Amino acid sequence: MNKNYYAIIMAGGIGSRFWPISRTSYPKQFIDILGTGKTLIQSTYDRFLKICPKENIYVVTNDIYIDLVKTQLPDMEYSQILGEPVMRNTAPCIAYGCFKILNADADAVITVAPSDHLILDEAGFVNTINQALVTAERHQSLITLGIKPSRPDTGYGYIQYTEEAIDSSFYKVKTFTEKPTLDIATTFIQSGDFLWNAGIFVWTAKAITKAFEQYLPEMHEIFDEANAVYNTDAEKAYVSQVYQQCTNISIDYGIMEKADNVYVIPSEFGWSDLGTWASIYQLAEKDNEGNAAIPSEKVILYNSTNCMVNVPDEKLVIIQGLNDYIVVEANNTLLICPRDQEQNVKKVVADVKQKFGTVYI
């Protein structure tokens, strides 16, 4: 296993689309949302153990989740868990992790990935990442993984690529497009040169810090000036102080859309970003009527079809006459809504917060 290979797992989100199971105090990435016996962050960590040494795996998360990460990933040292004092999107957290790693290893090659995605074909994922690590190092390029789309989905970002390639499998990126309308997504699929944006990146520490210097110079200055404190007792206090100055910006918008050395590898390894209850429903085991219940032992359904049910283990739940509904109970809250209206969950969370404060959030 290459000692210069590293991973940064981004685990700072609150997963509001999965409320009430996912809450600010215990968000989606720390939950076994698919009933597999492992939480999403545990599965992500285990995948990277096949790619790089365990001491080279870092988690960037909100300060309030540091102990939760340590509990779920006990093999990690606290020095590998990087706390963000405030949420500032993906560019600052990636800058923090990459500058810290570069400070310790000038030859580092880094994979950056979300903590809450599903990968069904782990061998295929590991093989793709290993290819990307070699190419990123050889060409000092910024690599992103694109998923071959199976349908025109409006919930994903899209990457358009050209025929220009390096190492035969990596194509020059032409455009990034955020979540399109259905008509535009359909056009993308028909064109054949668009991929879903998985939000997984591979690059050398030198290449990405150089890109920060060129495209986000103020952020580069903030984290470059921290070189004197990285991997010392003064690091946390310094980062807590300077993080407030960081622009709230994504790595896609801040760097990937602007850089001229961005390449994508078309990939297929059973990926899902598990962004909505609909994605959980698609992946969950279903009965003959199309109902998915997690856990299923104490859920009884009569004259009900195509429902997504997620309830506490100890609760007996009987449902009759529901079709195409989501039924979720957690944390003293019950949510029942049509599956085709699940996009309203974020609004529901906002309304609950306005009416009851944060007690249910």
Predicted local confidence at residue 202, as pLDDT: 98
Is the Cβ–Cβ distance between 41 and 29 less than 8 Å? Answer: yes
> Using H for helix, E for strand and C for coil, what is the string for 51-119?
CCCHHHEEEEEEHHHHHHHHHHCCCCCHHHEEEECCCCCHHHHHHHHHHHHHHHCCCCEEEEEECCCEE
Q: What is the dihedral of CA 260, 117, 196, 205, to 10 degrees?
A: 10
Query: Shortest CA distance to 42 belongs to which of 94, 51, 33?
Result: 33
Predicted local confidence at residue 248, as pLDDT: 94
**Rounded alpha-carbon distances, angstroms, from residue 284 to 274, 278, 300, 308, 341:** 11, 10, 17, 9, 19
Predicted local confidence at residue 294, as pLDDT: 86
Q: Is 16 exposed, middle or buried (0-12, 13-18, 19+ CB in 10 A)?
A: middle
* Separation CA 112–CA 63 (nearest Å): 19
Which domains are present in the chain?
5-272 (3.90.550.10), 284-356 (no CATH)
* Separation CA 145–CA 87 (nearest Å): 24
Residue 197 phi, psi (nearest 5): -85, 110
- Block mean pLDDT (10 aa), the chain, length 361: 96 86 91 90 97 97 96 96 93 97 97 95 96 97 94 88 94 91 90 92 98 97 95 92 92 95 96 86 91 89 95 92 95 92 86 92 87
Predicted local confidence at residue 320, as pLDDT: 97
Tokens of 70: 């340590």
Is the Cβ–Cβ distance between 261 and 276 less than 8 Å? Answer: no
Predicted local confidence at residue 344, as pLDDT: 84
Number of H helices, E strands in the chain: 11, 17
Predicted local confidence at residue 15, as pLDDT: 79
Predicted local confidence at residue 102, as pLDDT: 97
* Separation CA 293–CA 297 (nearest Å): 8
Q: What would the DSSP string read from start to end of 273-314?
A: ---SHHHHHHHS---TTS-EEES-TTEEEES-BS-EEE--TT
Residue 180 phi, psi (nearest 5): -90, 175
Residue with tokens 């290819």: 131
Write out the H or E segment, with its range, that includes residue 175: strand 170-177
Provide the 3-class DSSP secondary structure of residue 252.
helix
Tokens of 349: 């969370």
Angle at 250 between CA 4 and CA 192, to 5 degrees: 85
Predicted local confidence at residue 210, as pLDDT: 97
Residue with tokens 């279903």: 286
